[in-house]
Amino acid sequence: MSKANAINYKKGKEPHAREYRLVFKNVDRKGWDPGIDCYLQDGGYRELKKALLMDPVDITEDVKKSGLRGRGGAGFPTGVKWGFIPPNNTKPVYLICNADESEPGTFKDRYIIHQDPHQLLEGMIISCFATGANLAYIYIREEFPEGARILEKAIEECHQKGFLGKNILKSKFDLEIFVHRGAGAYICGEETGLIESLEGKRPYPRIKPPYFPAALGLYMCPTIVNNVESLCNVKHIIAMGGDAFAKLGTARNTGTRVLCVSGDVVNPGYFEVEVGHITMGELIHDLCGGLKPGRKLKAVIPGGSSAKVLRAGEKFKIKKGDQEIEIGIEDIPMDFDTLMACGSMAGSGGVIVIDDSRKASWILNNINEFYAHESCGQCTPCREGSLWMKKITDRITRGEASPDDVETLESVAFNIDGKTICAFGEACAWPTESFVAKFREEFLADTSEKYDDAILNPETELAAAHLSSET
Amino acid sequence: MSEANDKVNVQIDGEWHQFPKGTRMIEACRLAGKEIPHYCYHPKLSSPGNCRMCLVEMGMPPRPRPGEDPPKPDKDGHLPIQWIPRPAISCANTIAEGMGIRTDSQLTNECRHGVMEFLLINHPLDCPICDQAGECRLQEFSVEFGTGGSRFREKKVKKPKNVDIGPRIRLDDERCIMCSRCIRFCQEVADDDVLGFTDRGSHTVLGVHPGKELSNNYGLNTVDICPVGALTSNDFRFQMRVWFLKETNSICTSCGRGCNIIAGAREDKLYRLTPRDNNEVNSSWMCDYGRLNFHFLTSEARLTDPMILEHRAHRIARWSEAVGRAAEKLKEFDASKIAIIASGRMTNEELFMARRLGETLGIEKIAIVPRSGEADDYLVSADKNPNTRGARLILGKKVDKQLKEIAAGVKKGTITALIALDENLLKCGFEEDTLKKLDLLISSHILANPTASLSHVVFPSTATVAEKRGTMINRTGRLQRLNQAIDPPGQAMDLWEILRDLAQALGGSNGVYLLEDVFKLMAGTIKEFEGLSLGKIGDQGLPLLKPKESIPLLERERERIEKGIIVG
Amino acid sequence: MNVPKEIEAEIDERITHYPVSKRSAALPVLHSLQEHFGYVTEEAVEWVAAKLDLEPINILELVTFYPGFRQSAPGKYHIRVCRTLSCAMEGSYELMEKLCQEAKIDRSEVSHHHPIAVSEDGKFSIEFAECLASCGTGPVCLVNDDFHEAVEPAKADKLLKQYD
Ligand SMILES: Cc1cc2nc3c(=O)[nH]c(=O)nc-3n(C[C@H](O)[C@H](O)[C@H](O)COP(=O)(O)O)c2cc1C
Ligand code: SF4
Ligand code: SF4
Ligand code: SF4
Ligand code: FES
């Protein structure tokens, strides 16, 4: 495996010394282009050739051994997911690359797609071979028009070189990959919503059980949905072997991760690091050049906007070996398990840094507007609750809310959390739950008791009266 | 504690029960006497699990970690239950061995309160002017679980109101709770994919595509299954508050299917027919045609009194006088000159009394008027008589063919007296001129018609729909009961009563006073009815004959049940 | 509605990408039509439905769900400014305001149902988009298919000048 430092990068875009460029090896590389020749000159499709000589079962085993956890948000072990395809399956199997990248704060797949499409295709072809899929789709968000064209061109190039189509490299393995463009809906990132969308229906997520994609996915056939970054990693697992891959990162949190940092830091951007090898503090101060001058850290949303916010000054209890230790926000190693132990999640790898110039209510209101806009509206709690929360935070930011509203806000979030069809419910409830819990004083300070009896909707009282008189 | 493999042990609110494998949690709870509130779930439709009203607390036996001891069963053999903090929908999930369900725990109740509040915040809550009030599932549960939206201080989402989505149905989008039942019905049952959701999130609205309409012959079923007052029937809209309606179980008589119905009436006015579940006949549905085919009951042309033709004009007569006149006249004829035209719309009891009258007088020529039309691929039968099977069983197979012979006989003059029961002879092969040649025409009718005008004695009869009791046999051979929901107008009577009185006037008392007496006689005479009584038939009917006929809609439902898509 | 031959050919080719179900081609077909006509008309909805053997409501359900499909004519250049958190922190609301000022666009009528505002001369139209997945280089926007990063609000006029 060529280490990142052997490669030249564009000026000003050089990886930080603490990065470990695997998936982002070719991002911002000097003289690099998305064409297949460039990729082949760099040893591209070597892993495909290797994989096609392997037993598909062994590839899945290798992916299991690698410990690779999905990079799309849920962090589910990729090999285990592949293993869920029913053993006696007789239906066709499909593979879908989730390139919907829409979790606020996340911007890693964009660079892979635009700059290194063949890495993704190689990873996909290997994954299709391993899972027995002969038809695959890349579901790409509509707002990447250029990305879609690049991928289509790359697919065309693959056909020319015999990496796609019938009898790939004389392996008797057939595969077609098509690019499918979304149309601006975050919910199409949720895998079952994505599948419905790909079926030409409204992207209403399916209930699970019974519709686990690996068993009942696209067209009710076994379907593997994986994130762009996850699929790219498959190529590297083949290259170095599952065991070697598992040595990267930390136990149960293997490999590398592209962390996307945005918000109030001097140098926002993407950083590929070994999972768990750097802490939040190192990420902010070393890799991102610290906070803006004169600013103090207020909070961090560590895994895309749906991850629960972590407040500066908060104390987190985590396990170290057999011991439980208390750490602060900057000491948190950026891995799946620790972030979960801290009450949040690594999610999609989107880290949003918030300094003390920001109002918590303003941040939350912006997030709530996103979720109110993106709720698919299929199930009651999320459909009604997401907009309600947004309306309340809207009033809080305008200074038109009463202290009661803060309580209502919080309980609306609780009434969504865990009660919806898909994980969007949590995604939209967690920001409110965590912001209100951790910045309650600040929220309350923006409210006034004079709004205690404010009824912005006179119909409500009238209706309530009707209801009781009727019954 | 061992049990058959297809039984599963489930603990519901602390008590253990057994249910067949594959039972949905919500159905298991219902069987255990615990109704779980729900909106989107409907046993005859797929389960999208979107309303979230049916969330319950659920648990399973703990799975031991490697090295841990397996959990120990209690003295009855049941394993302990590890309760899951996340609630589960009970509508789409099936039970599993050792599962625990809590339908009344704090978590379950919190979920219900939460969902109710969400459903109410953007709901107009205009119950006082809503047709659904009284049978609205939202109103029902809001009393139990709702908070009346009092914490909601925001402006409600505005949506279209009073939308014309088809010739018979109106939509109020602000009332819609987006359960998608109506959409699923149209897609899955009626194969008419006209309804859909547009926009998204809280702004989602139900509707039809501009220029399209929900006009299929099963559309009104969506009104029934809409759990709120979003879809209303133009026919029923604003007619009557539902809690004033007296409900009577009966069957539709507009075709040979015999869909089971509930007749909703108040003060002798029928307001609506709605389908009643019967998985052997109509599942949970009925066609719009049958549903709305009752307005003739209040027609201006309704006959309300017996009439006698005198001096070329009809005059109202007392009942006994009309019966007396008819009997007296009939006696003047040789039985071979008399024929009876009965109707496939008559009940078995009425047909049986027609047969008895024939026997009393020695009449051999007795026919019914066949009525055939288009069948559809759902419920509607090509046989537009609701009781052809009963007529053939009671009057004999020849009844279909004899109509032509009788018509010819009347024309030739070999038949000179005719008894026509609830049939307009001018519509079934008789001509006015030949009828005029008859020496005696006695008829019964619901509405005035040209045959009545030509009759010497006319009896006003009751309508099959809602006005009488009795039984019929549908196309698939099921014996079903009709029940009376309203009193008939004026002096109108059931045909079995008219025929009883006539027979009595002709041959003396026959011991028939009640409908039950007729049935008893019938059961003693006709083998198929042996051992039966009205009471034994019950609300779901009984399979009596076994013709080779299937019901397309039910066939497809069975397939969906087998695939686990619907509960059935 | 007149769908040019080459567009229909493109559409027919796209449909072949979905050998299992034609319905899957709904989004690609709508994209083709929107790229050509600028937005999706009622007629287009019916055309797509007929093309894919569906009911028009099946297509209307999609067109109204996805903000990526427009139901009214945009300007010659359609701008989508990222509204979401990281870009908002970098000034995307100011960017929106500046762009409207410069392009003479009145957004006062914008609502959930009408998210797009068009300039008086019809040259530009604008709307907020949710997270465009470039949070590290905010504020960002799309002008038709061109992606622009780190657009300082103060330089909104420069951005528009590129589209003269
Ligand atoms: C609301 C929501 C949005 C999501 N958006 C994305 C997304 O944009 N990209 C993505 O890869 N996964 C997204 N996911 C996660 C996917 O559902 C799925 O878990 C993932 O694509 C699986 O791939 P992985 O195992 O490789 O991570 C989203 C999940 C939810 C609940
Ligand atoms: S949780 Fe929200 S996004 Fe998910 S299905 Fe329900 S309404 Fe749609
Ligand atoms: S109209 Fe009624 S049945 Fe249809 S989705 Fe709305 S609430 Fe459900
Ligand atoms: S199918 Fe026949 S019996 Fe059923 S409702 Fe329609 S007309 Fe009546
Ligand atoms: S009944 Fe609606 S989710 Fe179960």
Q: Which residues of C95-107 are buried (b: 16+ CB within 10 A; e: fewer)?
A: bbebbbebbebee
Higher pLDDT, B131 or A124: A124
**Residue A366: domain span:** 360-459
Give, for C43, the enclosing helix (H) or strand (E): helix C42-51
In order of their start, the domains of chain C are 5-65 (1.10.10), 77-161 (3.40.30.10)
Residue B85, preceding peptide bond in cis (omega within 30° of 0): no
Query: Which one of A371, A424, A428 would you pick to mutate in the ligand 2 pocket, going by the greatest count of ligand atoms within 8 A of its CB?
Result: A424
pLDDT given at position B82: 97
A184 close contact with B: CB closer than 8 A? no
CA of B492 to the centre of ligand 4 (A): 25
Domains of chain B are 4-118 (3.10.20.740), 128-136+148-298 (3.30.70.20), 307-471+482-507 (3.40.50.740)
Does any domain span residue A268? yes
Checking DSSP bridges between strand B169-171 and strand C141-143, what pairing results, if any? unpaired
* Residues B357 and B488: beta-carbon distance below 8 Å: no
Q: Please tell me the residue having the least CA distance from ligand 3 atom 2.
A: B226
* Helix (H) or strand (E) segment spanning residue A245: helix A242-247
Type of residue at A272: E
Q: What value does the CA radius of gyration of chain B take, rounded to a whole number of Å? A: 29
A167: left (phi over 0), alpha (psi -120 to 50) or beta: left
Q: How many helices (H) and strands (E) does chain A have?
A: 18, 13
- The DSSP secondary structure of C90-131, one letter per residue, reads TTHHHHHHHHHHHHT---TT--SS---EE-TTSSEEEEEES-
> What is the rounded average pLDDT of the residues B84-95?
97
Give yes or no for residue A9 CB within 6 A of ligand 1.
no
Spell out where A170-314 has E strands. Answer: 176-181, 223-227, 249-250, 253-254, 256-263, 269-274, 297-301, 310-311
Which of B122, B177, B208 maximizes ligand 3 atoms within 8 Å of its Cβ, making it the mutation to test the pocket?
Answer: B177
- Counting ligands in written order, the one closest to the CA of B111 is 5
Query: For the CA atoms of A289, A295, A300, A302, what is the dihedral angle to 10 degrees?
Result: -10
Grade residue B126 by pLDDT with cuts at 50, 70 and 90. confident
Sign of the Cα torsion B524, B529, B532, B538 reads negative
A268 and A221 both lie in a single domain: no
Burial of C110 (0-12, 13-18, 19+ CB in 10 A): middle
Contacts of C145 in chain A (CB under 8 A): 145-146
Number of other residues whose CB lies within 10 A of the CB of residue A307: 29
Q: Is A427 in the pocket of ligand 2 (CB under 6 A)?
A: no
In a domain, A442, yes or no: yes
CB contact (8 A) between residue C113 and residue B199? yes
Structure-block tokens of residue A6: 């052997």
Torsion, Cα of A109, A111, A112, A113 (10° steps) = 80
Q: In this prediction, what percent of chain B has a pLDDT beyond 70? A: 98
Q: What per-residue confidence (pLDDT) applies to A461?
A: 54
The rounded distance, in Å, linking the Cα atoms of C149 and B510 is 99
Please indicate whether, in this complex, the C-beta atoms of C58 and B196 are within 8 angstroms of each other.
Answer: yes
Tokens of residue B534, six digits: 């009205």
Which DSSP symbol is given to C132? -
CA–CA distance, B437 with B411 (Å, rounded to integer): 8
pTM summary value: 0.95
As separate numbers, helices (DSSP H) first and strands (DSSP E) second, chain B gives 17, 23
The CA-based diameter of chain C, rounded to the nearest angstrom, is 51
Write the DSSP symbol of residue A69: B
**Contact across the interface for A105 and C21, Cβ inside 8 Å:** no
Domains: count for chain A: 3
| A74: DSSP letter | S
Substitution target from C40, C46, C52, C55 for chain B, most B beta carbons within 10 A: C55
Residues A271 and A292 in one domain: yes
Which A residues 383-442 touch C at CB under 8 Å?
none
Smallest CA-to-CA distance from A269 within A446, A13, A6, A11 is with A13
The tens digit of pLDDT for each residue in B192-249 reads 999 999 999 999 999 999 999 999 999 999 999 999 999 999 998 777 777 889 999 9
Q: Are strands A350-355 and B163-164 parallel, antiparallel or unpaired?
A: unpaired
Record the tokens describing residue A439, joined without a space: 């910045």
Hey, of B200, B203, B204, which one would you mutate to test binding to chain A, going by the most A CBs within 10 A of its CB?
B200
**Pocket around ligand 3: residues whose beta carbon is below 6 Å from it?**
B 176-182, 206, 226-228, 230-231
Cβ-proximal residues to C20 (8 Å cutoff; 6+ apart), any chain = A92, A135, A218, A219
Both A105 and A220 in one domain: the answer is yes
With cut-offs at 50, 70 and 90, classify the pLDDT of residue C164. Answer: confident
CA B189 from chain center: how many Å?
17
Partner C contacted by B128 (CB < 8 A): no
d(CA B558, CA B551): 11
User: Residue A5 has what pLDDT?
Assistant: 46
Same domain, A199 and A59: yes
Q: What is the mean pLDDT of chain B?
A: 94
Residue A4 has a pLDDT of 43
Provide the token pair at A140: 């790409």
A129 and A93 housed in the same domain: yes
Q: Could you tell me if A164 and A148 lie in one domain? A: yes
| Stretch B496-513: mean pLDDT | 90
Measure in Å the smallest separation between the Cα of B203 and chain C Cα atoms: 8
Report the alpha-carbon distance of residue B459 to residue A324 in Å, rounded: 95
Tokens matching residue C156: 């909104």
Q: How far is CA B100 from CA B57, B97, B566, C159, in A?
A: 8, 9, 23, 63
- Determine the Cα–Cα distance for residues B519 and C34; give it in Å rounded to an integer: 71
Encoded amino acid at A191, one letter: E
Among A179, A213, A247, give the residue marking a domain's end. A247
Helices and strands (H and E) in chain C: how many: 7, 5
A378 lines ligand 2 (CB under 6 A): yes
In a domain? residue A79: yes
- Does residue B308 contact residue B322 with C-beta atoms inside 8 Å? yes
Residues A120 and A74 in one domain: yes
Neighbour count for residue B14 (Cβ, 10 Å)? 8
**Does residue A386 share a domain with residue A314?**
no
Please give the order of strands across the beta sheet that includes C117-118. C117-118, C124-129, C77-82, C141-143, C146-148
Q: Does ligand 4 have an atom closer than 6 angstroms to the CB of B289?
A: yes
Give the pLDDT confidence score for residue B239 in this predicted structure.
72
Mutate to test the interface with B, among A188, A386, A419, A450 (most CBs of B within 10 A): A419
* C63 Cα to chain B: minimum distance (Å): 8
Query: Residue C3 pLDDT > 80, yes or no?
Result: yes
Please check whether residue A126 is in contact with residue A51, taking contact to mean a CB–CB distance below 8 angstroms: yes
CB interface of A with C, residues 218-247, below 8 Å: 218-219
Instruction: Provide the CATH number for the domain around residue A445.
Output: 1.20.1440.230
CB neighbour list of residue A458: distance below 8 Å, 6 or more residues apart: none
CATH of residue A279's domain is 3.10.20.600
The tokens for B189 are 């049952």
- Interior/surface letters B359-389, b for 16+ CB within 10 angstroms, e for the rest: ebbebebbbbbbbeeebbebbbbebbbbbbb
Classify each residue of B21-36 as buried b or exposed e, where b means 16 or more C-beta atoms within 10 Å of its C-beta: eebbbbbbbeebebeb
Q: For A84, phi and psi rounded to 5 degrees?
A: -80, -10
| Residue B477 backbone class (left: φ over 0; alpha: ψ -120 to 50; beta: rest) | left
Which tokens in the block code for residue B463? 């309508």
A54 and A196 assigned to the same domain: yes
Q: What's the gap in Å between the CA of C57 and the closest CA on chain B? A: 5
Residue A221 neighbours by CB under 8 Å, 6+ apart? A91, A92, A93, A94
Residue A431: inside a domain, yes or no?
yes
- Using the predicted structure, report yes or no on whether residue B18 has a pLDDT greater than 60: yes
User: Is B464 a residue whose pLDDT tops 70?
Assistant: yes
pLDDT computed for residue A2 by the predictor: 45
Cα within 13 Å of Cα(B317), Cβ side: 21
C66 contacts on A by Cβ (under 8 Å): 142, 182-185
User: Which residue, of A331, A355, A379, is where some domain finishes?
Assistant: A355
Structure tokens at B73: 């069963």
**Per-residue pLDDT tens digits for B340-357:** 999 999 999 999 999 999
- CB spacing of A405 vs B202 below 8 angstroms: no
List the single range of A3-12, A203-212, B26-35, B72-81 with lowest mean pLDDT: A3-12
Q: How far is C19 from A218, CA to CA, in rounded Å?
A: 13
| Maximum alpha-carbon separation in chain A | 79
Task: Please identify every stretch of chain A with a pLDDT value under 50, giving residue numbers as ranges.
Answer: 1-5, 466-471
Last residue of a domain, one of A247, A273, A305: A247
Looking at the fold, whether A237 and A261 belong to one and the same domain comes out as no
Q: E strand or H helix at C37, and its extent?
A: helix C26-37
Q: Is the peptide bond before B160 cis (omega within 30 degrees of 0)?
A: no
Q: C-alpha angle A122/A124/A126, rounded to 5°? A: 70
In a shared domain, residues A425 and A333: no
A100 and A235 belong to one structural domain: yes
